[in-house]
Amino acid sequence: MAIKAKNLSFSYRKKKVLENLNFEIKDGEFIAILGPNGAGKTTLLKCILGLLKVEGEILVFGKDPSTCKKILEMISYVPQKSTLSTDLPITVIDVLRMNSKELNEEIIEDFELCDKMKTLFRELSGGFQQRVLIARALMKNPKMILLDEPFNGVDVLSQEKITKILEKVNATVLAVVHNINPIIHAVDRVMLLNRELIAFGKPNDVFTKENLFKAYKAEIPVVICEEGIIHPLYGDQHG
Protein backbone atom coordinates (compact mmCIF):
# COMPACT_ATOMS: atom_id res chain seq x y z
CA MET A 1 0.00 0.00 0.00
CA ALA A 2 1.43 3.38 -1.02
CA ILE A 3 -0.79 5.61 1.13
CA LYS A 4 -3.37 4.92 3.78
CA ALA A 5 -5.27 7.78 5.43
CA LYS A 6 -7.59 7.22 8.35
CA ASN A 7 -9.69 10.08 9.78
CA LEU A 8 -7.07 12.47 8.46
CA SER A 9 -7.70 16.11 9.39
CA PHE A 10 -5.58 19.23 9.36
CA SER A 11 -6.36 22.65 10.84
CA TYR A 12 -4.58 25.94 10.24
CA ARG A 13 -5.21 28.67 12.82
CA LYS A 14 -8.21 26.75 14.14
CA LYS A 15 -9.72 26.52 10.64
CA LYS A 16 -10.25 23.04 9.21
CA VAL A 17 -8.38 22.70 5.94
CA LEU A 18 -8.83 18.94 5.64
CA GLU A 19 -11.57 17.09 7.43
CA ASN A 20 -11.82 13.43 8.18
CA LEU A 21 -10.29 11.96 5.02
CA ASN A 22 -10.30 8.19 4.61
CA PHE A 23 -8.69 6.65 1.55
CA GLU A 24 -6.16 4.13 0.32
CA ILE A 25 -3.85 4.35 -2.69
CA LYS A 26 -2.12 1.27 -4.06
CA ASP A 27 1.48 1.10 -5.31
CA GLY A 28 1.82 2.30 -8.90
CA GLU A 29 -1.55 4.04 -9.14
CA PHE A 30 -1.86 7.32 -11.06
CA ILE A 31 -4.19 9.60 -9.09
CA ALA A 32 -5.49 13.04 -10.05
CA ILE A 33 -6.56 15.33 -7.20
CA LEU A 34 -9.12 17.99 -8.09
CA GLY A 35 -11.02 20.63 -6.20
CA PRO A 36 -11.57 24.38 -6.04
CA ASN A 37 -8.98 26.82 -4.70
CA GLY A 38 -8.59 26.37 -0.95
CA ALA A 39 -9.91 22.81 -1.10
CA GLY A 40 -6.80 21.51 0.67
CA LYS A 41 -5.14 19.82 -2.32
CA THR A 42 -1.63 21.17 -1.68
CA THR A 43 -2.13 20.65 2.05
CA LEU A 44 -2.89 16.98 1.39
CA LEU A 45 0.39 16.62 -0.52
CA LYS A 46 2.23 18.22 2.41
CA CYS A 47 0.54 15.81 4.82
CA ILE A 48 1.77 12.92 2.66
CA LEU A 49 5.28 14.39 2.85
CA GLY A 50 4.99 14.58 6.64
CA LEU A 51 5.56 18.33 6.68
CA LEU A 52 2.40 19.13 8.66
CA LYS A 53 1.17 18.04 12.04
CA VAL A 54 -2.05 16.18 11.32
CA GLU A 55 -4.89 14.74 13.34
CA GLY A 56 -5.84 11.16 12.58
CA GLU A 57 -3.45 8.88 10.76
CA ILE A 58 -1.57 8.84 7.50
CA LEU A 59 0.78 6.07 6.52
CA VAL A 60 3.09 6.24 3.52
CA PHE A 61 4.57 2.90 2.52
CA GLY A 62 3.38 1.71 5.93
CA LYS A 63 5.20 4.41 7.91
CA ASP A 64 4.26 7.72 9.51
CA PRO A 65 5.94 10.33 7.27
CA SER A 66 6.11 12.95 10.05
CA THR A 67 8.40 10.76 12.13
CA CYS A 68 10.10 8.59 9.51
CA LYS A 69 12.04 11.09 7.39
CA LYS A 70 13.64 8.21 5.45
CA ILE A 71 10.36 8.09 3.53
CA LEU A 72 11.33 11.34 1.79
CA GLU A 73 14.14 9.52 -0.01
CA MET A 74 11.47 7.52 -1.83
CA ILE A 75 9.27 10.50 -2.71
CA SER A 76 9.79 13.28 -5.22
CA TYR A 77 7.79 16.47 -4.96
CA VAL A 78 7.20 18.89 -7.83
CA PRO A 79 5.95 22.16 -6.34
CA GLN A 80 3.90 24.85 -8.03
CA LYS A 81 6.12 26.95 -10.26
CA SER A 82 4.97 30.11 -8.48
CA THR A 83 6.91 29.04 -5.38
CA LEU A 84 10.24 28.96 -7.24
CA SER A 85 12.80 31.77 -7.36
CA THR A 86 12.99 31.79 -11.13
CA ASP A 87 15.25 34.86 -11.17
CA LEU A 88 18.07 32.86 -9.60
CA PRO A 89 20.82 32.40 -12.23
CA ILE A 90 20.77 28.64 -12.31
CA THR A 91 21.21 26.31 -15.27
CA VAL A 92 19.09 23.30 -16.19
CA ILE A 93 21.91 20.92 -15.24
CA ASP A 94 22.14 22.54 -11.77
CA VAL A 95 18.40 22.05 -11.26
CA LEU A 96 18.54 18.41 -12.40
CA ARG A 97 21.39 17.68 -9.98
CA MET A 98 19.45 18.93 -6.96
CA ASN A 99 17.83 15.57 -6.30
CA SER A 100 20.58 13.31 -7.53
CA LYS A 101 24.25 13.81 -8.38
CA GLU A 102 24.03 11.10 -11.06
CA LEU A 103 22.08 12.24 -14.11
CA ASN A 104 19.94 9.71 -15.96
CA GLU A 105 20.57 10.35 -19.67
CA GLU A 106 17.40 8.50 -20.66
CA ILE A 107 15.23 10.94 -18.70
CA ILE A 108 17.07 13.89 -20.24
CA GLU A 109 16.40 12.50 -23.71
CA ASP A 110 12.76 11.67 -22.92
CA PHE A 111 12.15 15.28 -21.88
CA GLU A 112 14.14 16.63 -24.88
CA LEU A 113 16.51 18.54 -22.62
CA CYS A 114 19.83 17.47 -24.20
CA ASP A 115 20.49 20.82 -25.89
CA LYS A 116 19.22 22.87 -22.96
CA MET A 117 21.49 21.66 -20.18
CA LYS A 118 23.49 24.89 -19.99
CA THR A 119 20.49 27.16 -20.52
CA LEU A 120 19.38 29.27 -17.57
CA PHE A 121 16.17 27.95 -16.05
CA ARG A 122 14.64 31.44 -16.18
CA GLU A 123 15.21 31.57 -19.96
CA LEU A 124 13.12 28.46 -20.65
CA SER A 125 9.46 28.55 -21.67
CA GLY A 126 6.87 27.58 -19.04
CA GLY A 127 6.49 24.15 -20.65
CA PHE A 128 10.21 23.39 -20.58
CA GLN A 129 10.54 24.69 -17.02
CA GLN A 130 7.91 22.18 -15.98
CA ARG A 131 9.68 19.42 -17.93
CA VAL A 132 12.91 20.22 -16.05
CA LEU A 133 11.14 20.07 -12.68
CA ILE A 134 9.55 16.72 -13.45
CA ALA A 135 12.81 15.38 -14.89
CA ARG A 136 14.51 16.47 -11.64
CA ALA A 137 11.85 14.58 -9.68
CA LEU A 138 12.49 11.41 -11.70
CA MET A 139 16.29 11.59 -11.35
CA LYS A 140 16.27 9.96 -7.91
CA ASN A 141 14.15 7.08 -9.18
CA PRO A 142 11.35 7.68 -6.66
CA LYS A 143 8.66 5.25 -5.59
CA MET A 144 6.16 8.09 -5.41
CA ILE A 145 5.84 11.41 -7.24
CA LEU A 146 3.68 14.25 -5.97
CA LEU A 147 2.98 17.00 -8.48
CA ASP A 148 1.31 20.28 -7.58
CA GLU A 149 -0.40 21.81 -10.62
CA PRO A 150 2.12 20.52 -13.16
CA PHE A 151 0.21 21.91 -16.15
CA ASN A 152 -0.05 25.54 -15.06
CA GLY A 153 1.29 27.74 -17.86
CA VAL A 154 2.22 24.67 -19.91
CA ASP A 155 1.32 24.37 -23.61
CA VAL A 156 -0.61 21.40 -24.99
CA LEU A 157 2.49 19.79 -26.50
CA SER A 158 4.35 19.79 -23.19
CA GLN A 159 1.21 18.63 -21.35
CA GLU A 160 1.04 15.63 -23.66
CA LYS A 161 4.76 14.91 -23.29
CA ILE A 162 4.60 15.12 -19.49
CA THR A 163 1.49 12.92 -19.32
CA LYS A 164 3.07 10.22 -21.53
CA ILE A 165 6.16 10.11 -19.33
CA LEU A 166 4.14 10.02 -16.11
CA GLU A 167 2.11 7.12 -17.53
CA LYS A 168 5.31 5.13 -18.09
CA VAL A 169 6.85 5.90 -14.70
CA ASN A 170 7.20 2.93 -12.37
CA ALA A 171 5.92 4.83 -9.32
CA THR A 172 2.78 5.96 -7.57
CA VAL A 173 1.82 9.33 -9.04
CA LEU A 174 -0.41 11.93 -7.38
CA ALA A 175 -1.05 15.04 -9.45
CA VAL A 176 -3.00 18.05 -8.23
CA VAL A 177 -4.67 19.56 -11.29
CA HIS A 178 -7.33 22.14 -11.99
CA ASN A 179 -8.06 20.80 -15.43
CA ILE A 180 -8.28 17.01 -15.55
CA ASN A 181 -8.65 16.78 -19.33
CA PRO A 182 -4.93 16.53 -20.29
CA ILE A 183 -4.48 13.44 -18.07
CA ILE A 184 -7.96 11.95 -17.87
CA HIS A 185 -7.04 9.02 -20.13
CA ALA A 186 -3.91 8.28 -18.11
CA VAL A 187 -5.21 8.35 -14.55
CA ASP A 188 -6.41 5.30 -12.66
CA ARG A 189 -8.57 7.21 -10.20
CA VAL A 190 -9.67 10.74 -9.43
CA MET A 191 -9.95 12.30 -5.97
CA LEU A 192 -12.47 15.14 -5.75
CA LEU A 193 -11.73 17.25 -2.71
CA ASN A 194 -13.21 20.24 -0.99
CA ARG A 195 -11.81 20.07 2.52
CA GLU A 196 -13.58 16.74 2.80
CA LEU A 197 -13.42 13.88 0.35
CA ILE A 198 -16.30 14.41 -2.08
CA ALA A 199 -15.58 11.37 -4.24
CA PHE A 200 -12.70 9.02 -5.03
CA GLY A 201 -12.84 6.52 -7.86
CA LYS A 202 -12.83 6.02 -11.62
CA PRO A 203 -13.32 9.28 -13.57
CA ASN A 204 -16.79 8.30 -14.78
CA ASP A 205 -17.94 7.52 -11.25
CA VAL A 206 -16.51 10.74 -9.81
CA PHE A 207 -17.57 13.27 -12.45
CA THR A 208 -21.28 13.20 -11.79
CA LYS A 209 -23.20 16.48 -11.75
CA GLU A 210 -23.92 15.99 -8.05
CA ASN A 211 -20.28 15.44 -7.09
CA LEU A 212 -19.07 18.36 -9.19
CA PHE A 213 -21.71 20.64 -7.72
CA LYS A 214 -20.81 19.51 -4.22
CA ALA A 215 -17.13 20.26 -4.84
CA TYR A 216 -17.35 23.51 -6.80
CA LYS A 217 -20.73 24.88 -5.60
CA ALA A 218 -21.52 25.53 -9.26
CA GLU A 219 -22.92 23.66 -12.27
CA ILE A 220 -19.98 22.18 -14.18
CA PRO A 221 -20.94 21.04 -17.69
CA VAL A 222 -19.60 17.65 -18.80
CA VAL A 223 -19.16 15.97 -22.18
CA ILE A 224 -18.66 12.32 -22.98
CA CYS A 225 -15.82 11.60 -25.42
CA GLU A 226 -15.71 8.78 -28.00
CA GLU A 227 -14.12 6.38 -25.51
CA GLY A 228 -17.05 7.00 -23.18
CA ILE A 229 -15.04 8.97 -20.61
CA ILE A 230 -16.76 11.92 -18.97
CA HIS A 231 -14.84 15.19 -19.33
CA PRO A 232 -15.81 18.04 -17.02
CA LEU A 233 -15.55 21.36 -18.85
CA TYR A 234 -14.25 24.71 -17.62
CA GLY A 235 -12.59 22.94 -14.74
CA ASP A 236 -9.77 25.47 -14.83
CA GLN A 237 -12.11 28.45 -14.43
CA HIS A 238 -13.93 26.92 -11.53
CA GLY A 239 -10.80 25.51 -9.98
Partner 1 sequence: MDSIFFSITLISVIASVSGSLSVFRRASFLVATVAHSALAGVALSLLLSSYGLELDYFVFATLFAILFSAISTLFSKFYNIDTGISISFALSMALAVIFLSISRNVSTKIWAFLFGELYLITEKDIFYLVMTTVIVLLLFGFFYEKILFFLFDPEGAEASGINVKLLDTILVLIIALSVVTVIRSVGAVLAYAIFVAPSAVGKTFARNFKQSILYSSTITFFCLLAGFLISFSIPVSASAISAFIASILYLFAMIRKS
Footprint of partner 1 on this chain (CB under 8 A)? 49, 51, 69, 72-73, 75-79, 83-85, 87-91, 94-95, 98-99, 120-121, 146
Nearer to partner 1, 100 or 208 (CB): 100
Q: Are 184 and 231 in contact (CB under 8 A)?
A: yes
Over its C-alpha atoms, the chain yields an Rg (Å, rounded) of 18
Taking the C-alpha atoms of residue 188 and residue 230, their distance in angstroms, rounded to an integer, is 14
Nearer to partner 1, 52 or 198 (CB): 52
CB atoms near residue 102 (< 10 Å):
9
Q: How far is the CB of 185 from partner 1 (least distance, A)?
A: 28
Report, in Å, the least distance between residue 101 CB and partner 1: 9
Closest distance between partner 1 and the C-beta of residue 130, in Å?
Answer: 13
- CA dist 54 and 44 (Å) reads 10
Instruction: Give least dist CB 49 to partner 1, A.
Output: 5
Cβ-based nearer residue to partner 1, 26 or 69: 69
Please, which residue, 68 or 229, has the CB nearer to partner 1? 68
- Per-position DSSP letters for 128-173, written without gaps between them: HHHHHHHHHHHHT--SEEEEESTTTT--HHHHHHHHHHHHH-SSEE
